[in-house]
Structure 1
Amino acid sequence: MTDREEEILQKIRENPMISQNELADMLNITRSSIAVHISNLMKKGYIKGKGYILKENPYICVIGGANIDIQGFPKEKLNPNDSNPGNLKISLGGVGRNIAENLVKLSQNTKLITVLGDDIYGKKILEHSLNISLDINDSLILKNKNTSTYLSILDETGDMYVAISAMDIFDELHIEFMHKKMKYINGADITVIDTNLPKKTIEYILKTGNSKFYLDTVSVSKAKKIKDLIGYFHTIKPNKLEAETLSEISINNESDLDRNAEYFFNKGVKEVFITLGKDGVYYNNKKEKGIFKIKEQKVVNATGAGDAFMAALIYSTINNFSIKEKLSFSLAASILTMQSSDTINPNFNFDNIRKIEKEL
């Protein structure tokens, strides 16, 4: 928002019925200039429509995947190419949806834009979203389509061994549909995009939108979609392999991490977090950088830990944490998630994250 737009917005806050001529006289500019500024404020979402109805209740917009997770847990050491005794768990998932639910659990007003089939799984996601007060009203619901499904097999340590994703339905999130949702995207304080979306749709959102964009790369293969668009994101959180894919710079030491960050900064990124597995997380915002390491943690289920990290990162950004505070809080959120067999820990909340953070 420009200084002039902020000035106009403040006058409208003080008097929502003020006319454009009155604004022009107060600010000593032409009425036509006022009209242009108000049009821009409407496009950015700060004014909802005619009559100067201002945006209320700041919110976060998440655009990405919602699906059903089916997870297999072996009872003993996992043996490839064999039938393994174990347990199955079915739960709601999807990178975008997981991030959105975790944000709701952190008491953040959150809108999720995704695509669902009209099958039993899609209805389950809609019902659950309503129950937790996650706004999913602007998502696309398709008849005679199956909701995205993610099947994963974990090893005996709780880490993913292999997974299959049936997510063709995300190809239906066309530019034409997203065009109708831009006012909600532009009105958000932060917009998270995961790479389950088609590349052309991601490109349209980034080049048309005015929000502060955060990236969740999802996977190495899907990260390739945004390789040429990385500079449109304010904050990115790739893992080591995803960062190497985006920058084409191999990472073997901290110096290589610095080179990766510099590559992203030169493209336009403002904050970089590169997750390194058991070796911690690298962070850099041009002013501060380093590797935050933690002691080895007991893992029940690693699925969803990255989504919790992203949700906590957004929460801490909105609440003006320093970069080290963001990292500490976000790592604690991911650890809390890994302590549960569920993709989203039922006990995920601010107080429990803080408890874990004190132990880091």
Structure 2
Amino acid sequence: MSDITIIGGITADIEGNPYGQLARGESNPGKISIAYGGVGRNITENLARLGADVAFVSAAGNDFVGRAAVQELKQLGVNIEKVSLLDDENTAMYLSILNIVGDMELALCNMDVLERISIDFIHDAMKVLKASKIVGIDANLTEEVQDFITRKLHDAGIPVFLDPVSAPKAERAKKMIGRFHTIKPNRGEAEILSGLSILNEEQLRGAGRWFSQQGVKRIFITLGSGGVYYKEGEREGIIRPQAVHLVSATGAGDAFSAAIMDAHVKQMDIEETARYGMAAAAVAMEAKTAVNPKMCLESIDEKLRKGIFNLSLLNNNVLIE
């Protein structure tokens, strides 16, 4: 059994960039790229690269994309015992065609396989989940499945972590928010989950207090370039980044989520955890891919040694960035 178990999806992101103006009904020359994605998969890969003892629960098609994605995680040391490759499904894919200026012209997504992560599917993995020190889920899972997971694990005393993924997806977790031990919404997702406006630091503190009153033990609300607000019990604050080398912000949130769960297993305090998460996000932003292949404890330690963050006192008159 593993210290950390992640439940989520595997996707393949396929992107086409034409060399010239798109011609409808024609074969357009251009550059095509493919990369593995999925919030759950990305968090799992980050954890593996940090040396965590991690298992992944997911479903994908028994096709070359699904098999290759699972094999890569296995090679990184992930326990893939509860990843099912299904003969009658395709691996989840997102296909986008951009135009000459880089804007999306057309997209097609096939996420049907993620619906196969059902209550029965989770029930089959429950022994693995209940043996974990923390279980992470992303809000791509249906509300019914999230309700089942959080109810069973809350009753068993197993901490559950939530990555809300997006504001629309956050709605799925709203009714069961008090069963989560740790959450990591951004400001918009936190507004959806709490029903509160968060326009300044006074309201940010109010949202943190509301989540705490619902039963959430650890709260991390990410603020984009403004850093992260954290709260556990009476301890709260904001950690703001100094200059960060930005190649792509894609995947920074997934790296932060991974670091939070790794920190839980390592029994870091709330401020240490927030700094650890920010450092992981900073490493993630130095690569074009969703997961930086250079993600490791040494890279995070280097960021922490450089002191690239400021601890900010809450000021009720400062607007959130």
TM-score by length of 2: 0.84
Instruction: Determine the structure 2 residue equivalent to 1:128.
Output: 72
Unmatched 5+ stretches in structure 1: 1-56, 76-84
Supply the AA of the counterpart residue of 2:215: G
Offset at residue 127 of structure 1 (A) = 1.6
Say whether 1:183 aligns with 2:124: no
Residue 145 (structure 1) aligned to one of 89, 92, 98: 89
Offset at residue 118 of structure 1 (A) = 1.1
Q: Which has the larger radius of gyration?
A: 1
CA RMSD of aligned residues (A): 2.8
Residue 138 (structure 2) aligned to one of 173, 181, 194: 194
Offset at residue 224 of structure 1 (A) = 0.5
Residues 15, 34 of structure 2: 8 Å contact kept: yes
Offset at residue 86 of structure 1 (A) = 8.2
Cα 1:144–1:349 change in 2 (3 A) is same
Partner SS for 2:172: helix
Cα 1:141–1:318 change in 2 (3 A) is same
Partner SS for 1:139: strand
Partner SS for 1:297: coil
Say whether 1:212 aligns with 2:156: no
Residue 256 (structure 2) aligned to one of 301, 309, 322: 309
Offset at residue 73 of structure 1 (A) = 7.7
Instruction: Determine the structure 2 residue equivalent to 1:336.
Output: 283
Partner SS for 1:114: strand
Residue 358 (structure 1) aligned to one of 268, 286, 305: 305
Offset at residue 129 of structure 1 (A) = 1.9
Instruction: Determine the structure 1 residue equivalent to 2:204.
Output: 257
C-alpha deviations, 1:128-179, integer Å up to 9, x for none? 122212111212322131111235789xxx9x99987532221111111211
Instruction: Determine the structure 1 residue equivalent to 2:184.
Output: 237
Unmatched 5+ stretches in structure 2: 20-28, 309-321
Instruction: Determine the structure 2 residue equivalent to 1:300.
Output: 247
Supply the AA of the counterpart residue of 2:213: N
C-alpha deviations, 1:220-249, integer Å up to 9, x for none? 111110100111100000001000011110
Partner SS for 2:241: coil
| Counterparts of residues 145-184 of structure 1 (less than 5 Å) | 145-151=89-95, 165-184=109-128
Residues 67, 85 of structure 2: 8 Å contact kept: no
Cα 1:255–1:177 change in 2 (3 A) is same
Residues 170, 198 of structure 1: 8 Å contact kept: no
Residue 114 (structure 1) aligned to one of 47, 58, 77: 58
Instruction: Determine the structure 1 residue equivalent to 2:293.
Output: 346
Cα 1:166–1:313 change in 2 (3 A) is same
Supply the AA of the counterpart residue of 2:142: P
How many pairs are equivalent? 295
Whichever structure has more strand as a proportion of its residues is 2
Offset at residue 296 of structure 1 (A) = 3.9
Offset at residue 263 of structure 1 (A) = 1.4
Instruction: Determine the structure 1 residue equivalent to 2:237.
Output: 290
Offset at residue 113 of structure 1 (A) = 0.2
Offset at residue 298 of structure 1 (A) = 3.0
Instruction: Determine the structure 2 residue equivalent to 1:11.
Output: none
C-alpha deviations, 1:98-151, integer Å up to 9, x for none? 111111111111110011011221111122122212111212322131111235
Rounded to whole Å, the distance in 2 between the matches of 1:153 and 1:326 is 39
Rounded to whole Å, the distance in 1 between the matches of 2:164 and 2:108 is 17
Supply the AA of the counterpart residue of 1:220: A
Rounded to whole Å, the distance in 2 between the matches of 1:152 and 1:279 is 30
Cα 1:286–1:152 change in 2 (3 A) is farther
Higher relative contact order (CA 8 A, sep 6+): 2
Supply the AA of the counterpart residue of 1:118: N
Instruction: Determine the structure 2 residue equivalent to 1:45.
Output: none
* % identical equivalent positions: 38
Residues 2, 79 of structure 2: 8 Å contact kept: no
C-alpha deviations, 1:161-206, integer Å up to 9, x for none? 9987532221111111211211111110100011111111111111
Offset at residue 354 of structure 1 (A) = 1.0
Say whether 1:318 aligns with 2:265: yes
Rounded to whole Å, the distance in 2 between the matches of 1:166 and 1:60 is 28
Partner SS for 1:320: coil
Supply the AA of the counterpart residue of 1:186: K
TM-score by length of 1: 0.76
Offset at residue 310 of structure 1 (A) = 0.9
Residues 2, 128 of structure 2: 8 Å contact kept: no
Rounded to whole Å, the distance in 2 between the matches of 1:297 and 1:250 is 28
Instruction: Determine the structure 2 residue equivalent to 1:90.
Output: 34
Rounded to whole Å, the distance in 1 between the matches of 2:106 and 2:220 is 25
